[in-house]
Amino acid sequence: MTELDNSTDLERTARAADSGANATRVFQSKLAGGSTIPTERVDEVATAAIKALHDVIRDKQVTYEEYDYLKKWMIQVGLDGEWPLFLDVWLEHVVEEVANADREGSKGTIEGPYYIPDAPMLPAECTLEMRADEPGTPLRFQGQVRAVDGTPLSAAVVDIWHADDLGFYSQFAPGLPEWLFRGRVITDDEGRFAINTMQPAPYQIPTDGSCGTLITAAGWHAWRPAHIHLKVSAPDHLLITTQLYFEGGEYVGTDIADAVKPELLLTPTPRADGQGNEVTYDFVLDPA
């Protein structure tokens, strides 16, 4: 047990619940302008979505009691600030599938609610911000960014963010240093990068908010496997938003957000110097 593990379950749950409200706050600043989606498109999609729900009500013979609990629950999702969590866990993976179906390069997956732009810029060989007594297993994560024709992409940006060894994200769970495990790493002349960090832990959807209420009521589990988030970009290439997971890790086969793909699995090996693990993963970017 590390020092940071000393919080009680109660404290950890309380910290997890704050992440939902912060995710709503951060998202609200993302779409500052008005919508440019045409009326015909809103009509088309909204009509189809509402009809899909009508079909569920008929098919499942939904009762007034169930309808009232749905209303109560939806009101509470908003009050808890958990719409970003709900949407990113249960819908985003299909939006990503549709958006990136035609890509040839590396696989993408969901962004999730915890991305912060403008993280500190770091050189190709770097160590992410961490605390002096940071718990966990050190991980050296290295690789190369290339175009689909194999050309190395120098000065590409590997924007990385991940949870700590307790599954918490900086700037969302309180009490963590501002840029903990966040950085924008610039690849070298050969398109390479080498990032020293700590392996993240599995992430639990906050269980004391309304997403937790649904999970408990439906008898599901609340976990995502441990993962590293990335946005990889280079001039004249399509940005890829992805996540990498750990082969054989807990919840890899039962991710509540359904965002794991076989191409996104890392298999770290122990380092020769005994300083934790290392793993290599290359990114291939489609032309813009």
Q: 4-42 b/e with 16+ CB inside 10 Å = b? A: beeeeeeebbebbbbbbbbbbebbeeeeeeeeeeeeeee
Q: Is 88 in the site for ligand DHB (CB under 6 A)?
A: yes
Q: What end-to-end distance do the CA atoms of the chain give, in Å?
A: 47
By beta-carbon proximity to Fe ion, the closer residue of 157 and 228 is: 228
Q: Is 202 in the site for Fe ion (CB under 5 A)?
A: no
Cα–Cα dist 245/170, whole Å? 19
Binding at 205: pick from Fe ion, ligand DHB, none (beta carbon under 5-8 Å per type): ligand DHB
Q: Is 112 in the site for Fe ion (CB under 5 A)?
A: yes
In the three-class reduction of DSSP (H, G, I as helix; E, B as strand; rest coil), residue 215 is classed as helix
Q: Which of 16, 17, 89, 153 binds ligand DHB (CB under 6 A)?
A: 89
x/- map, 145-184, ligand DHB, by CB under 6 A: ----------------------------------------
By CB under 6 A, the count of residues binding ligand DHB is 11
* Cβ atoms of residues 229 and 162 within 8 Å: yes
Q: Is 203 in the site for ligand DHB (CB under 6 A)?
A: yes
DSSP state of 284: E
Shortest gap between Cβ of 50 and Fe ion (angstroms)?
A: 30
Q: Show the tokens assigned to 181.
A: 């495990």
Q: Which of 231, 230, 260, 256 minimizes the C-alpha distance to 247? A: 260
Binding at 183: pick from ligand DHB, Fe ion, none (beta carbon under 5-8 Å per type): none
Binding at 181: pick from ligand DHB, Fe ion, none (beta carbon under 5-8 Å per type): none
By beta-carbon proximity to ligand DHB, the closer residue of 88 and 96 is: 88
Angle at 142 between CA 138 and CA 143, to 5 degrees: 160
By beta-carbon proximity to Fe ion, the closer residue of 181 and 193 is: 181
By beta-carbon proximity to ligand DHB, the closer residue of 114 and 192 is: 114
* Cβ atoms of residues 184 and 120 within 8 Å: yes
Residue ranges in contact with ligand DHB by CB under 6 A: 85, 88-89, 110, 112-114, 203, 205, 224, 257
